[in-house]
Amino acid sequence: MARILITSALPYINGIKHLGNLVGSQLPADLYARYCRARGHEVMFICATDEHGTPAELAAAKAGKPVAQYCAEMHSVQTELANGFKLSFDHYGRSSSARNHTLTQHLAARLAAAGLIEEVAEKQVYSNADGRFLPDRYIEGTCPNCGYERARGDQCENCTKQLDPIDLINPRSAISGSTDLEVRDTKHLFLRQSKLRDTLDQWIDSQQGWPVLTTSIAKKWLHDGDGLQDRGITRDLDWGVPVQFDGAPWQGMDGKVFYVWFDAPIEYIAATAEWADAQGLDDSAWQRWWREDMGADDVRYVQFMGKDNVPFHTLSFPATLMGANFDKSEPWKLVDYIKSFNYLNYDGGQFSTSLGRGVFMDQALSILPADYWRWWLLSHAPENNDSEFTWENFQASVNKDLADVLGNLVSRVTKFCRSKFGEVVPEGGALGAREAQLVDDLAKGLDSYQKVMDAMMVRRSAQDLRALWVLGNEYLQEAAPWSTFKTDPESAAAQIRLSLNLIRFYAVISQPFIPDAAARVMEAINCDDWSWPDDVASALNMLPAGHAFTVPEVLFAKITDDQRAEWEAQFSGQT
């Protein structure tokens, strides 16, 4: 049994996330966490709401609420939606927690002791209309690299290039929209991550099998232009972690807070500590996941995120943890594998909150159960390229994969058994060569499925799972127990006994993708044994003759053309 630590990039607190956000981090992380647990591994799956920085302040101001109140309310909303999508976090924390404040300030003190914090006098944009300095994300403009007109002052979402606010063309305040901006002198603290460039470069080179998307972005930031730049870690904001070092103020930094991208990844650790607190456990319970001198040396740490988050997780956060261990007294656990994703677009364009274009998490759950969305999103995950949601594709995938293949098999087998043998597993005679071939095919298919799941190949895993469902349908079509029954009821009973066991087999291996449907199937067949089918032949004998079951309701209803057309219009963003 392995110990596996899994973190998903933290969703911003500033509103309900759309399906592209969901499939870019939290959902595939949940898939992997569920799979690892099913295989018997010890898993710690951590996420939290990212509550500091510009997005939180702007959203709270727009809502007319104090930022602390707004964040608390939105944390509850996002928690409810995560539960709705059956995201199986061990803890879903908050970056505004006391734990994160304390740990962020402690790591900053360690970095200062290592000589990796520098006070820098710099020029920063000041908005006369707003009467304040504008931190990077409070400034929008045109990216000088790609021409994207809504680039932020820290990074362009379109090309991922790291920016400074003064780099933007035609800058404007994200608060008021004012262009009455000027550059003034101010002071901030910088993480001297450039001093760790070679160490980071060698560390990245030592990692095995990272996605090309992950390493290419990291290498670009390390080597393009002048190479890895030092990074400001403080901002002129009211809401955030105060700039203190183990409780002691840094002179001249009054009224400033740590930059959200400094404290947000630290919340992975803090949220694990929050989990321990909630369980009534001492610090050793979370330190065994994060401190290599406390047992984390045997942990495999996997992160999931969209490509825009890669630079901070391959460079800045590792630099923080490496720098904090300058004297070898705090060996923090570094990530072992980063699974990054491209973007999911919406029907020929981008998701847009302001235009009401695309499907957001609450809307999705209001029209269909979570499993419909989980299956489509994971089977179309934007791994190697950007992918696109269309209603035609969604309808076809739900109908052909879930309803026609898996749902149809469950319905046909259980209903036929009820009509001919009652709601119990029949005894029947011996199985033949065709059944032996099915077992062999399933064993090969399961081996492939496990390998690609272990490798976190999300789309390929969905393809392999569907292929396993297809094997059962092909067997049912060829065996045709409804025809066999007419001349050889004993053989038909044996075929149905095998098929009922096959249903349990499918529920167990499908649970990481479609947990609700899997649970409904297991409830219908009256089984609570979720043990993974390490031996297929044995797994297909789990339900003995005489075992009672019930016929489940329709597992997956087909999406009609009228429904598709209605939803396409509803979420088009057109008025």
Could you report the per-residue pLDDT of 379-392, keeping only the tens digit for each?
A: 999 999 999 999 99
Report how far residue 498's alpha carbon sits from residue 425's, in angstroms, rounded to the nearest whole number.
9
* Residue ranges at the known binding site for Zn(2+): 143, 146, 156, 159
Does the pLDDT of residue 505 top 70, yes or no? Answer: yes
CB 495 within 8 A of CB 484: yes
Identify whether 275 is part of a domain.
yes
339/422 same-domain check: no
pLDDT tens figures, 428-453? 888 899 999 999 999 999 999 999 99
CB 429 within 8 A of CB 494: yes
412/516 same-domain check: yes
* Residue ranges at the known binding site for ATP: 353
236/337 same-domain check: no
359/235 same-domain check: no
Q: How far is CA 236 from CA 106, 258, 270, in A?
A: 20, 9, 24
pLDDT tens figures, 511-521? 999 999 999 99
Largest Cα–Cα distance of the chain, in whole Å? 92
Does the pLDDT of residue 236 top 90, yes or no? Answer: no
pLDDT tens figures, 316-370? 999 999 999 999 999 999 999 999 999 999 998 888 877 778 999 999 999 999 9
178/90 same-domain check: no
396/424 same-domain check: yes
Identify whether 570 is part of a domain.
no
Indicate the helix (H) or strand (E) that contains 122.
strand 117-127
Identify whether 549 is part of a domain.
no
282/264 same-domain check: yes
CA 16 to chain centre: 15
User: Six-digit token pair at 265?
Assistant: 């990844």
Q: What CATH number did the domain enclosing 127 receive? A: 2.170.220.10
189/288 same-domain check: no
Residue 133: what pLDDT?
A: 83
Identify whether 548 is part of a domain.
no
332/419 same-domain check: no
Task: Give 125's DSSP letter.
Answer: E
* Residue ranges at the known binding site: 143, 146, 156, 159, 353
pLDDT tens figures, 72-125? 999 999 999 999 999 999 999 999 999 999 999 999 999 999 999 999 998 888
Report how far residue 229's alpha carbon sits from residue 3's, in angstroms, rounded to the nearest whole number.
35
Q: Which domain, by its residues, includes 227?
A: 111-196+203-249
Q: What CATH number did the domain enclosing 489 receive? A: 1.10.730.10
412/531 same-domain check: yes
